[in-house]
Amino acid sequence: MSDTLSTFEFFQKFPNEEAARNFFETRRWANEPVCGHCGSVSVTECKDHKPMAYRCKDCRKHFSVRTGTVLAESRLPLLKWLLAIYMLTSARKGIPSTQMARELGVTQKTAWFLAQRIRETWLNDQGAGDGGDHNQVDETYVGGKRSNMHASKRPNQMGGRGRKTPVVGILNENKQVRATVMPHTTAKALTGFVKDHANKGATVVTDAYRGYLSLPKMGYDHIRIDHSVGEYVKEKAHTNGIESFWALLKRGHYGIYHHMSAKHLHRYVNEFSFRHNTAEVGTMQFINMTIDRMAFKRLTYKGLING
């Protein structure tokens, strides 16, 4: 990553809570606070910032830079939010909530919820219609190892997927990844995913899985790489890029997070996708991009564990 920011430089830039608050406000509002309830710019600053930093003259409600964002109702200092975002971009394979808890001086439960809310901001980066003209498409399965499963959850065959969750991804010519959790890997699901993310008539490189066989009928130039016969490159076409992304995701799974439940897997997948797609931007730009996505996001703990 270019223009990286060391931990020492981070604390030089954000030495206290006021510096963090000013940074959030400048990024969200520039120099004009906007009411998070009604959108009015007719506001007044509250003395001592109590009960909140600002009060709207139109709707008469109090608000702060947190209002109307994923930070709403959070009691954590904004400096800890910034540090958490920094840690998530600095660790290429992710950071466990236990370590984040130690670094921030909070409980593991608080750190886990904080990280999930940050991941929530990245979900809208996974839109359809990126329209690549040359794409690698592949599917993988995420879950525990067969040897670690309870006998009732193990697949019947050694090569079976068992209770693992399928994830499908596409890598375009700009090295941008789009990945999503799928309920199954039927031909309809896979070709629908390709249709959403690749231009019609584009080249699509896949393995020999039969679920992709109908792509030529849909107007795609389909290149199949048959790994079962030792084929990995065909006329310079390959799926090495998307498979490398899966390898990084699984190293994060087994080595860092150890467990990614099916319920929350989409957030972890998006975390790795977002970090991959922003690998060439600097640390501060990454933080800015995350803050820009925080508006109109809301994730409660009850909604997170029951969703």
Mean pLDDT by 10 residues, the chain (307 residues): 81 97 96 94 95 96 96 95 93 90 97 94 64 90 66 46 85 93 95 93 95 96 92 89 95 86 91 91 93 88 82
CA 138 to chain centre: 19
- Give the Cα separation of 299 and 288 in Å (integer): 20
41 Cβ contact partners less than 8 Å away, ≥ 6 residues apart: 32, 33, 34, 35
Residue-level pLDDT at 139: 96
Residue-level pLDDT at 150: 54
* pLDDT (0 to 100) of residue 1: 41
Predicted TM-score (pTM) of this structure: 0.84
Largest Cα span, the chain: 73
Q: For the domain 132-267, what is the CATH superfamily, name and number?
A: Ribonuclease H-like superfamily/Ribonuclease H (3.30.420.10)
Residue 307 has what pLDDT? 66
- Whether the CB-CB separation of 307 and 263 falls below 8 Å is answered with yes
> Nearest Cα to 249, choosing from 181, 186, 154, 158?
181
pLDDT score recorded for residue 147: 55
Angle (nearest 5°) at CA 167 between 256 and 252:
10
Q: What is the pLDDT of residue 9?
A: 96
Exposure string of 234-258, with b = 16+ CB inside 10 Å and e = fewer, is eeebbbebbbebbeebbebbeeebe
How do strand 198-207 and strand 177-181 relate by DSSP bridges?
unpaired
Estimate the crossing angle of helix 78-90 against helix 108-122, to 10 degrees.
Answer: 70
Tokens 């400096």 -> residue: 79
Are 112 and 97 spatial neighbours (Cβ–Cβ below 8 Å)? yes
